[in-house]
């Protein structure tokens, strides 16, 4: 099977080259250390006797942020060194900024083609390879198998789309999953799906989502700091002013939130809109949208502080969502409205005590959202009309907002502990 994969990879790579070129053009940071994608990662210092080396692949921004508490636990283990890689340029910057001083090496994950993956494996020489969430790279797994290196999947997730795809090729699914020594699942539904696809039941266990513990590490603002942030955003100090957050929005969702803001204003509410798109490079598209509406707005990329009062603030920077979230009274979670699917994580906003609304397409967080709703910390909107009604209801009801915010904080506290369980499970692979 691996040779068939290698043969098919070549034409796929040729097809994807224009995509990579476009990404490099749109994201200046995408070119940084681009040679890593060919497996030409700078060699770390030689391996030392008695020291175990762990290679952790944190796919993108969410995983790069979630890995922090686990890294701290693993670094505390005697005679352990860690190599961190990621796939996206944004996550690569986060890893360099947050963890470079604490790990052996930070790099970019190679394209999953034979010579590129082999190059990286020869340079990094790990004793344990760790993948996150849903990444099953055939060549990467094969290189591990050749070297007798165990591979663990942590924070394991199986989305609806991936589950259907693997069900259509059960032989491929069993072969890939069979190369994993350990599958640590984020939710019970993920656990059931991995087992249904043929994973060895003795290798699959439920440890919970690392994102709960990562959210516990967020720097929470005091009341004074929160007021200062709202002033910085140009929202003023009036306690009657309400801030509606669009958290990690995708195309089309900003338009919906603009409509909701206008409806709230027409209803006599002083509602300010804080938009934080999932991808900062969409700023031009969102700015064009904002230029077509009459309310005053400001973009963070042109300067953080806005001295003039604004009705709409565009948070078009990277790595500031957790801080900006704390300026909000209510949040809408992005990538949850058709035609998008999957959703962005609601965990951080709930942990910060912000009431949540999202659309019907939160498939990647189905269990999380169900438990949030059961805890009374969020509302699911079935369509644009119901999303608007739910948000309007929250904006008009301070008691409801307070109750939901407290429920979100309590829900989050009850779900912590995945880091300890994951670290203990990985420890078994060293024994």
Distance CA 109, CA 85 (A): 5
Q: Are 429 and 128 in contact (CB under 8 A)?
A: yes
Strand partners, 271: 242
Residue 428 is a catalytic residue: no
Token output for 120: 């990286």
Identify the sign of the CA torsion 91, 97, 98, 100.
positive
Distance CA 342, CA 109 (A): 23
Q: Are 249 and 275 in contact (CB under 8 A)?
A: yes
Q: Please give the order of strands across the beta sheet that includes 242-249.
A: 297-299, 312-314, 271-277, 242-249, 330-333, 356-358, 378-380
Residue 380: strand, helix, or coil? strand
Nearest partner of 275 among 338, 325, 225, judged by Cα: 325
Q: Which of 63, 81, 191, 348 is catalytic?
A: 63
Helix (H) or strand (E) holding 229, with range, is helix 223-232
Distance CA 227, CA 236 (A): 8
Distance CA 223, CA 402 (A): 15
**400 Cβ partners below 8 Å, 6+ apart?**
355, 393, 394
Q: What angle do CA 105, 108, 113 make, to 5 degrees?
A: 125
| Residues classed as catalytic | 63
């Amino acid at each position: 099977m691996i040779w068939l994969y290698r043969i098919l990879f070549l034409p796929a790579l040729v097809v994807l080259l224009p995509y990579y070129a476009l990404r490099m053009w749109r994201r200046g940071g995408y070119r940084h250390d681009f040679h890593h994608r060919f497996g030409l990662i700078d060699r770390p210092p030689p391996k030392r006797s008695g020291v175990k080396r762990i290679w952790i692949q944190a796919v993108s921004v969410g995983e790069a942020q979630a890995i922090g508490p686990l890294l701290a636990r693993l670094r505390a283990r005697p005679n352990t060194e860690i190599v961190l890689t990621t796939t996206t340029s944004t996550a690569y910057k986060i890893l360099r900024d947050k963890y470079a001083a604490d790990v052996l090496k930070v790099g970019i994950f190679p394209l999953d083609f034979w010579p590129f993956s082999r190059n990286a494996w020869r340079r990094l020489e790990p004793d344990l390879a760790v993948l996150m969430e849903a990444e099953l790279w055939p060549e990467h797994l094969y290189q591990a198998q050749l070297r007798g290196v165990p591979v663990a999947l942590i924070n394991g997730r199986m989305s609806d789309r991936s589950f259907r795809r693997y069900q259509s090729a059960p032989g491929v699914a069993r072969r890939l999953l069979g190369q994993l020594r350990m599958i640590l699942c984020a939710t019970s539904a993920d656990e059931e799906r991995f087992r249904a696809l043929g994973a060895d039941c003795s290798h699959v266990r439920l440890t919970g989502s690392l994102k709960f513990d990562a959210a516990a590490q967020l720097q929470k603002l005091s009341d004074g700091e929160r007021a200062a942030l709202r002033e910085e955003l140009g929202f003023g100090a009036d306690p009657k002013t309400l801030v509606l957050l669009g958290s990690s929005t995708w195309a089309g969702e900003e338009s919906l939130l603009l409509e909701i803001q206008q409806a709230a204003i027409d209803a006599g509410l002083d509602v300010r809109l804080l938009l934080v798109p999932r991808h900062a490079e969409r700023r031009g598209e969102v700015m064009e949208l904002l230029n077509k509406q009459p309310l005053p707005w400001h973009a963070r990329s042109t300067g953080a502080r806005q001295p003039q009062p604004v009705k709409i603030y565009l948070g078009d920077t990277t790595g500031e969502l957790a801080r900006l979230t704390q300026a909000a009274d209510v949040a809408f979670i992005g990538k949850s409205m058709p035609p998008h699917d999957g959703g962005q994580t609601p965990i951080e906003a709930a942990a910060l005590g912000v009431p949540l609304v999202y659309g019907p397409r939160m498939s990647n967080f189905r269990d999380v959202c169900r438990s949030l709703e059961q805890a009374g910390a969020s509302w699911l909107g079935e369509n644009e009309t119901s999303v608007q009604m739910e948000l309007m209801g929250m904006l008009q009801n301070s008691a409801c907002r307070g109750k939901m915010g407290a429920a979100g904080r309590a829900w989050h506290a009850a779900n912590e502990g995945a880091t300890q369980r994951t670290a203990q499970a990985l420890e078994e692979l060293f024994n």
